Amino acid sequence: MADHTSSTAGHGAGACPFCSPDPARIVMENEHAVALQDRYPVSEGHALVIPRRHVRSIFDLETPEQAAMWSMVTEVRSLLIRRFAPDAFNLGVNDGQAAGQTVAHAHVHLIPRRKGDQPDPRGGVRNIFPEHARYWGR
């Protein structure tokens, strides 16, 4: 994902790239959330599920909003399976700048994975700290 920190940190919703998404990128919508094709995909089919209400953290969402988002994650996963036939998925939430969040609007990444896309995918998201990723070898 591109670094939008300077243009979105402490901003009003008008500057947020997720508050008024390009309609061509919309994959699906519901009352509380929208799914988009990632503008900078790390794999074919990489999608984002974003709450309609502008909040920085998924933990700032009300329970119905969180439920709608996670329901949409499941629906988008099914859609991506039909369209791209991946072997697996990584789900990611970068919650806060120290966790790598670059757009100050909560969102969930769905990243389709394929056998062989990485030489050794074990550890998945644990690889953000490579020194702790290989727990199976200890």
Q: Where are the domains of the chain?
A: 5-137
Fold held by 5-137: HIT family, subunit A (3.30.428)
Catalytic residue among 46, 105, 107, 109: 107
Task: For residue 123, name the pLDDT band (cuts at 50, 70, 90).
Answer: confident
* Cβ pair 53, 76 in contact under 8 A: no
pLDDT for the residue 14: 58
pTM of the complete model: 0.84
Report the distance separating Cα 44 and Cα 106, nearest Å. Answer: 22
> pLDDT digits over 74-92, tens only?
999 999 999 999 999 999 9
User: Is 11 annotated as catalytic?
Assistant: no
Report the distance separating Cα 4 and Cα 16, nearest Å. Answer: 9
DSSP 8-class letter at 34? E
Report the distance separating Cα 4 and Cα 47, nearest Å. Answer: 17
Q: Is residue 136 pLDDT above 50, yes or no?
A: yes
Burial class of residue 11 (count of CB atoms within 10 Å of its CB; 0-12, 13-18, 19+): middle
Burial class of residue 14 (count of CB atoms within 10 Å of its CB; 0-12, 13-18, 19+): exposed
Q: How much is the average pLDDT of 5-15?
A: 46
pLDDT for the residue 87: 97
Residues 6+ apart with CB under 8 A from 94: 100, 101, 102, 109
Q: Is residue 43 pLDDT above 50, yes or no?
A: yes
